Chain A
Amino acid sequence: MKVTEMDEIKQAQTLENKLAPKGSLLRNGNPVSKATAKQRAARIRELRRQKAPADKNQELPIDEGYSKTFLRVTVAVSVFLFAITLAGVLGINSMFENSRNQVVSNFTVQVLPLPDAQDSRDDLLKIVNFLEKYPDVEQVTVLSDAELRALLQPWLGVNVDIEILPIPKLLDVKIRNGRNFDYRELTVRLSEISAQASINDHNLWLSRLLRFINSLKLLAVTVLVLVAGGCVASIVYAAKTGLNVHRDIISILHTMGATDEYIAINYVKQISQMSAVAGIVGAILSVPAILVIGHMAQGIEAGIFNSATFGMENWVFILLLPFVSAALVALTAYVTVVRTLRHMV
């Protein structure tokens, strides 16, 4: 229903008459004329059309200055450290997974030569035939003399004729379902075929690498817990200090009928917005740091360690951190404020 100008004048007069039937109470008892009511209705209309200022202050303010700056810096630094550590964990994890996928899909069989060359060739052929028929074996490749020479070159130099040396033959065996491959059974079966053959399945050094990586992960998780704990402690401290400083405001809000939850939500809205912004700054600052560390890691000539990758899904984790931290801050602040208010009158 459209409110007409007449309705508004009537409304204004009704308000005046309800509260001041013998005249406006704030006008020395002078009666309210129709003209005054009309003027006031026009003024109310004009005020309603005006836009309220956008920068609405919160009822329970977080003071500008040291406390707010401290919180912003704490959250930004926490997110920065969190991002770097998380990137490290994810990078190490991907390196291990890449290495394992590469390593577990093949193994090497070493065949020692027999005194007679023909016997050696027959023995090799028997082993290759056996392996090619073995379940989950995809391909068996006998390394050529050139490939063997290339492998030995770093130790023996370029001018050594390997034909005159008793060098074992090497078989590169590619397998399917490498993670569940039963090397123990193969070792037993292979020994029945030839006493000259032995398997090198990489599992020993892989398990050592896994132990090392798990230690690194545990260390990283400890760092993450400490960083998060520090951040939570700062929020608790800031919230408690803020509530103590604004005891008077809280008392007024309570008098007006505000519940503890209302006050807590009012505070949490501000602190979570602020920490989201600080968190975004921390996350943005961490991106070049992660790229630089990644670039430096790529430069390490360590064979297997070059296989670490940092995919898009890992970047998503990093970019989600500001929002995760804002949620953590909001939850901490809410619980702290409600608990603290319960102890106030």
Chain B
Amino acid sequence: MDTEQFEPIVEMKNVALAYGDNPNVLKNINFSFRRGSIHFLTGKSGAGKTSLLSMLYLAQKPTDGTLKVFGNNVALTDRDTLAFLRRRIGVVFQDFRLLEHLSVFDNVALPLRIRGMKEKEIRQRVIELLAWVELSHNMYVKSSEISGGEKQRVAIARAVINRPELLLADEPTGNVDSEIALKLMKLFAELNRLGTTVVIATHSNELMRRYNYPRLVLADGNLSYLKDTSES
């Protein structure tokens, strides 16, 4: 039996985060993300959603408490191992964070190149995914030259091309119109159905009402769990 399947993909025990000597942005957070789960992460602006996500994609270590990702205690994990753990995580940033000097193709190919995949295989996979997100006409165009909606699709293609085990999306619908937002949410739902653990940070009540996923609410640095929208 695969025991990994039953282990939480992310485990937080008394996690706190502070920037420098400032007061804690996140306080005493205790929560575990089960493999294959999907959650909304919500809270007012400045509540610490982005900070929590940045810890989950291993850009920061907690200043206190224990954070385990894929069973590894982040505080005790060396730099290179952290890099390899990050390869199992897909991130969609609110501001896309594409490499503007690279083409759409190279942006999507980036996680595969980092993994050291052969160029022939990369080409095959990227072309397929770009055709699917309807960006093949702009494949060799610099990502600085495409529209916001297209950038969003590139960012998503880049996040999912590796088939991540954990997908983190920070306000993924914040910069796109409602039609694209709906498409993106459907995509996340389907990826989750295929086994990816998904965390979507949003402050859109409409989105949360429409998709009745469990919610994690951040307020004053504290995290609380609401099973569905009826609890709000």
Contact = CB atoms under 8 A, between A and B. Distances in A.
A59 B140 contact: no
Interface of A: 11-12, 15-16, 18-21, 24-29, 40, 43-44, 47-48, 52-53, 56-57, 59, 61, 248-249, 251-260, 262, 342, 345
Interface residues of B, number: 48
Interface string B35-60: 00000000000000000000001011
A52 B105 contact: yes
What are the nearest 5 A-B pairs in CB distance? A257-B87, A257-B86, A25-B186, A259-B83, A25-B187
B139 interface: yes
A187 to B, nearest CB: 72
Given A43-B131, A262-B114, A26 B183 contact: yes
26 contacts: A15-B128, A16-B132, A20-B186, A20-B190, A21-B190, A28-B179, A40-B131, A44-B131, A47-B127, A47-B130, A57-B102, A59-B110, A255-B91, A256-B110, A256-B111, A257-B83, A257-B86, A257-B88, A257-B89, A257-B114, A258-B114, A259-B79, A260-B80, A260-B83, A345-B59, A345-B60
A19 B114 contact: no
B186 A29 contact: yes
Contacts of A21: 190
Contacts of B179: 28
A253 B128 CA distance: 23
Interface in B69-84: 79-80, 83-84
A255 B59 contact: yes
Contact of B140 (A53, A249, A345): A53
Given A19-B190, A47-B127, A48-B123, A255 B57 contact: yes
Nearest to B127: A47
A256 B131 contact: no
B106 interface: yes
Contacts of A59: 99, 102, 106, 110, 113
A71 B31 CA distance: 51
B124 A48 contact: yes
A257 B59 CA distance: 10
Interface string B155-191: 0001000000000000000000001001110110011
A259 to B, nearest CB: 4
A339 B123 CA distance: 33
User: Which of A44, A47, A251 has most B Cβ within 10 Å?
Assistant: A47
Nearest to B158: A256
Contacts of A40: 131-132
Contacts of B183: 25-28
Contacts of B103: 53, 57
A254 B86 contact: yes
B2 to A, nearest CB: 21
B153 interface: yes
Contacts of A44: 127-128, 131, 136
A19 to B, nearest CB: 5
A258 B83 contact: yes
B136 A52 contact: no
A254 B158 CA distance: 14
B83 A25 contact: no
Contacts of A26: 132-134, 153, 183, 187
Contacts of B132: 15-16, 19, 24, 26, 40
Contacts of A256: 86-87, 110-111, 114, 158
Given A43-B136, A256-B86, A256-B87, 11 more contacts: A19-B191, A20-B187, A26-B133, A28-B182, A57-B102, A255-B86, A256-B114, A257-B85, A257-B114, A258-B83, A345-B59
A252 B99 CA distance: 8
B101 interface: yes
Contacts of B105: 52
A257 B84 contact: yes
Contacts of B91: 255
B97 interface: yes
Contacts of B84: 257, 259
Interface string B106-123: 100011011100000001
A19 B139 CA distance: 21
